[in-house]
Amino acid sequence: MNIVSLVKLAIDTGQLRFDPSTYKPMLHDIPLKISDIDRNALEEALRLKQYGFSKIYALSLLTWGPLGKRIQEAQNLLREALALGADEAILIADEHTIDSDSIFVAKALAEMIRRISDVKIVLAGEATVDKFSSQIPARVACELGFSYVGFVRRIEYKDNKVIVERDLEDHVEIVELDLPAVISVTREINTPRLPTLMQIRAAMKKPLNIIKSSDLGLQPFKKTLETNYEGVKVARKNIIIEGKDMSEKVSKLIENLISEGVIIPRR
């Protein structure tokens, strides 16, 4: 029995920069990171391991290019997943995975999961921090024909079944699900650990395989969407109110709020 933890190598939105003339995000130059919520998924995989699972696979597909530049960066990030406790890492990357859409990504991930023996649970974050579309886990479940449950904040494992608590907008559901299953988790499920120096060293010896999508027998994807990115210009005034003490600062603030028309004085 094995667990696959999906790891998105996401754009680090904290480091976004924009082309000064076009104001388009310079995505090729922005570092990647392990998507935050996928760290929670991996942590949960490590916790579930105690129930008799033999291996945790960290599985990733590289979508952000350029390929030549990203391939080493992607491997470094997957070493981090290994340091956190994954037993083996797999990176699907070639020219076809770059900028591929979620239909293709789900097919490729599912095809790889089929090639790993006896996968009972696939874990992933509820969304990735860059595009936040929450689609991949359900799409992967559909490809594999696995059970699926999303937005989970607690998992209980019991003889080939899981009981989960999932968080929807206006209610919470407790759901029982047969395995194999794909489960997406929220950040509330746990607090991801930080790797120790020992673990970082040990990670260098763990297997990290790079697979091409063509080796998985996949056809290059057909484009389904035309997409155009534009930076959001911050139109905020960014005025820091100075003053000799808080009282003066507050008075100045209130004057401004009145002239903005958001506070209306009574006469």
Partner 1 sequence: MRILIVGKLNDIIELSGAASIMIRSSSQAVDVDALSIEKIMRAPPEVETLGYDRIFYPDNIERIETPRQLAETVTDLMNKNDYIYIIAPSTKLFKESLAYAGQKLQIPIIPDVSQIEAGPGRHIFMRTIMAGRVRSYETPLNKAIILIGLGRFRGGRFSEKKTSFVPIKISVDTSFRIIEKREKARGAVRLEEADIIISVGRGFRSKDDLKLAFELADLLRGQVGCSRPIAADLKWLPEEHWIGLSGKKVRPKLYIALGISGQPQHIAGILESRVIVAVNKDPNAPIFKNADYGIVGDLYEFIPKFSEKIKEILGVK
Write out the binding residues for partner 1, residues 168-207 only, by CB under 8 A. Answer: 168-178, 184, 186-188
Nearer to partner 1, 55 or 131 (CB): 131
Name which of residues 211 to 250 contact partner 1 (CB under 8 A).
Answer: 223-232, 234, 236-241, 246-247, 249-250
Q: Cα dihedral sign for 20, 24, 29, 32?
A: positive
Site string for partner 1, 100-119 (x = CB under 8 A): -xxx--x-------------
Size of the site for partner 1 (CB under 8 A): 78
Q: How far is the CB of 42 from partner 1 (least distance, A)?
A: 19
Task: Single out the residue of 137, 189, 180 nearest to residue 161, CA to CA.
Answer: 180
Q: Cα dihedral sign for 207, 208, 213, 218?
A: positive
Question: In this structure, are residues 25 and 229 in contact, taking their beta carbons and an 8 Å threshold?
Answer: yes
Look at the block and give the residue holding tokens 């974050």.
Answer: 125
Task: Single out the residue of 176, 20, 7, 154 nearest to residue 92, CA to CA.
Answer: 7
Name which of residues 52 to 91 contact partner 1 (CB under 8 A).
Answer: none
Encode burial over 98-118: b for 16+ CB neighbours within 10 A, e otherwise. Answer: eebebebbbbbbbbbbeebee
C-alpha span between 236 and 96 (Å, rounded): 40
132 binds partner 1 (CB under 8 A): yes
Q: How far is the CB of 99 from partner 1 (least distance, A)?
A: 13
Q: How far is the CB of 73 from partner 1 (least distance, A)?
A: 18
**Six-digit token string for 43:** 């942590």
C-alpha span between 209 and 189 (Å, rounded): 29
Name which of residues 1 to 40 contact partner 1 (CB under 8 A).
Answer: 11, 13-14, 16, 25
Nearer to partner 1, 6 or 203 (CB): 6
Nearer to partner 1, 8 or 79 (CB): 8
263 binds partner 1 (CB under 8 A): yes
Q: How far is the CB of 191 from partner 1 (least distance, A)?
A: 9
* Local structure of residue 218 (DSSP, 8 states): P
Nearer to partner 1, 184 or 208 (CB): 184
158 binds partner 1 (CB under 8 A): no
* 3-state DSSP assignment of residue 9: strand
Nearer to partner 1, 132 or 196 (CB): 132
